[in-house]
Chain A
């Protein structure tokens, strides 16, 4: 492992909304790229490689849309590759940019992408296609009912209630109301969440993330380059991935290695990232967390997997307000994935938001005194869990 650190020097993100009819897909990518390049105070000649963040093609309805985006990210004549790890795509793209630099191959790398999920009409039609066509495609599987079944098992195991789920939405919506880039910014009450219609038991409409449109971009650089050019940065001090096996039905039954209630491999991924960053007691050493949770119930198993609570204890800790902005360890101070989900860049925004927090640049949703933060991204049906530790 290189001893030279890798820093984040520029951040760009759209103001996410349901639709952006004013912008074509490459327009939206370019919007985030321009913001990140201005933030980094660099020109395109300084960028040596571009990692393109793009989840399933069918979500934007353009096959290999990174080809269409190549100009929007200024990648002509540069190293260029696309990353797709489903919902984890954004954090995997940051990881790929990191590895370009940590390997010593490049000093300055851009990663960027955008999504227009609202144009898809029904993202569950696309997501149903992640199941194998042999045994499971015939069932009406989608990510909502996949994670509804996780909620059923988490309820059975740890006593989570529908009201506990609603409490996550209430917290995250309140935090999103302070973040001008978040998509769903309307504050809601527990009663309103509980009264919203069932989508897939026990998940109700307000337990679900929206289908968002917008772009994200980050500029990463080597410590050597940052010091030579006297740039401001925050540092990626730990990163990892971990996968689970494919079959949902293998995460239940007799003595499963990983239970579908939990996010077993997310826990492994965090342990790897913490080891790299030298974090031995995350509950004490981490100040802020952006954990990928597209449905309210999944925030609990993500908090558990991040080692911020013992399994199931996250329910009581959240009820006590420990994970609120202003609480002991704010989780999803931006409003998180529950309030904004432009799938191709969602997990990149988790990294971006943690970087802003430890930089002290998060504005109205700043967690006071945050110096060490963590981010995660989940993709597929538990196959891609990406994690990062970011420090000032």
Chain B
């Protein structure tokens, strides 16, 4: 027999409040091209991205600490497949331990040729030094910065 289908689309717009910690963090990126983490007083760990409390002690973090702009690659991937509602491939992104931070911050890797997967992966291998670059026009967002091989 003929089997039929019906198409449905979900398209919902949210306006997420970022809270005090992320709002301050993004204002520094937008206005000064600087990245900050929050220090946990008990352990001394600098959490990037900054969080208002430590996951280990559940106590409030106490201090803003500037980190980067240099850092080292902790993880990466290079995406070659197209996914709905995600950027057109190829693109590389991953996590970088910025100088002065204890945890890694996600961002795009730009400025390298991704045509040959093995060659691109070799250039992005773990431990590679990178530097943070900032867009000229900044809105206060993660996409205001990216990483390039130092």
Chain A: interface residue total (CB-CB under 8 A): 45
Find out whether the CB atom of A200 lies under 8 angstroms from the CB atom of B78.
yes
Closest chain-A Cβ to B48's Cβ sits at a distance in Å of 7
Within 8 A of A (CB), among B40-87: 45, 47-49, 55-56, 74-81, 83-87
Given contacts A122-B84, A138-B142, contact A133 B79 (CB under 8 A): no
| Interface residue? A124 (CB, 8 A) | yes
SS class, residues of chain A in contact with chain B: loop
Residues of chain A within 8 A of B84, CB atoms compared: 121-122, 124-125
Residues of chain B within 8 A of A135, CB atoms compared: 22, 49, 106, 142
From A200, A253, A257, B79 is in contact (CB under 8 Å) with A200
Find out whether the CB atom of B93 lies under 8 angstroms from the CB atom of A139.
yes
Q: Bound complex: CA of A31 vs CA of B49, how far in Å?
A: 46
Among A141, A248, A255, A256: residue with most chain B CB under 10 A:
A248
Which of the segments A84-92, A142-150, A262-270 contacts the partner chain? Answer: A142-150
Given contacts A21-B3, A140-B87, A253-B104, contact A149 B75 (CB under 8 A): yes
Residues of chain A within 8 A of B97, CB atoms compared: 252-254
Find out whether the CB atom of B126 lies under 8 angstroms from the CB atom of A152.
yes
Find out whether the CB atom of A249 lies under 8 angstroms from the CB atom of B74.
yes
Residues of chain A within 8 A of B91, CB atoms compared: 140
Find out whether the CB atom of A249 lies under 8 angstroms from the CB atom of B104.
yes
Residues of chain B within 8 A of A133, CB atoms compared: 14, 16
Given contacts A21-B3, A134-B22, A153-B75, contact A198 B101 (CB under 8 A): no
Residues of chain A within 8 A of B94, CB atoms compared: 149, 152
Within 8 A of A (CB), among B89-141: 91, 93-95, 97, 101-108, 117, 120-121, 125-126, 141
Find out whether the CB atom of B75 lies under 8 angstroms from the CB atom of A152.
yes
Residues of chain A within 8 A of B77, CB atoms compared: 145, 148-149, 152, 200-201, 203
Residues of chain B within 8 A of A307, CB atoms compared: none
| Interface residue? A61 (CB, 8 A) | yes
| Interface residue? A58 (CB, 8 A) | yes
Residues of chain B within 8 A of A61, CB atoms compared: 8, 10
Closest chain-A Cβ to B49's Cβ sits at a distance in Å of 4
Residues of chain B within 8 A of A189, CB atoms compared: none
| Interface residue? A202 (CB, 8 A) | yes
From B103, B106, B142, A253 is in contact (CB under 8 Å) with B103
Residues of chain A within 8 A of B56, CB atoms compared: 257
Closest chain-B Cβ to A235's Cβ sits at a distance in Å of 37
From B74, B78, B80, B143, A252 is in contact (CB under 8 Å) with B74
Closest chain-A Cβ to B57's Cβ sits at a distance in Å of 12
| Interface residue? A245 (CB, 8 A) | yes
| Interface residue? B18 (CB, 8 A) | yes
Find out whether the CB atom of A198 lies under 8 angstroms from the CB atom of B117.
yes
Q: Bound complex: CA of A138 vs CA of B143, how far in Å?
A: 7
For residue A260, which residue of chain B has the nearest CB?
Answer: B75
Find out whether the CB atom of A22 lies under 8 angstroms from the CB atom of B3.
yes
Residues of chain A within 8 A of B55, CB atoms compared: 245-247, 250
From A119, A199, A245, A253, B81 is in contact (CB under 8 Å) with A199
Q: Bound complex: CA of A119 vs CA of B107, how far in Å?
A: 31
Find out whether the CB atom of B106 lies under 8 angstroms from the CB atom of A139.
yes
Given contacts A58-B10, A61-B10, A153-B75, contact A142 B117 (CB under 8 A): no
Q: Bound complex: CA of A248 vs CA of B74, how far in Å?
A: 11
Residues of chain A within 8 A of B81, CB atoms compared: 197-200
Q: Bound complex: CA of A133 vs CA of B78, how far in Å?
A: 22
Among A119, A145, A245, A246: residue with most chain B CB under 10 A:
A145
| Further contacts, 9 of them, CB under 8 A, given A142-B83, A145-B93 | A128-B86, A138-B143, A139-B107, A140-B86, A140-B91, A200-B79, A203-B77, A248-B75, A253-B103
Q: List 15 A-B contacts (CB under 8 A).
A: A134-B19, A135-B49, A139-B106, A139-B108, A140-B91, A148-B77, A149-B76, A152-B94, A152-B126, A198-B117, A203-B77, A248-B75, A249-B74, A253-B97, A255-B102
5 nearest CB pairs, A to B: A249-B104, A149-B75, A252-B74, A148-B77, A122-B84
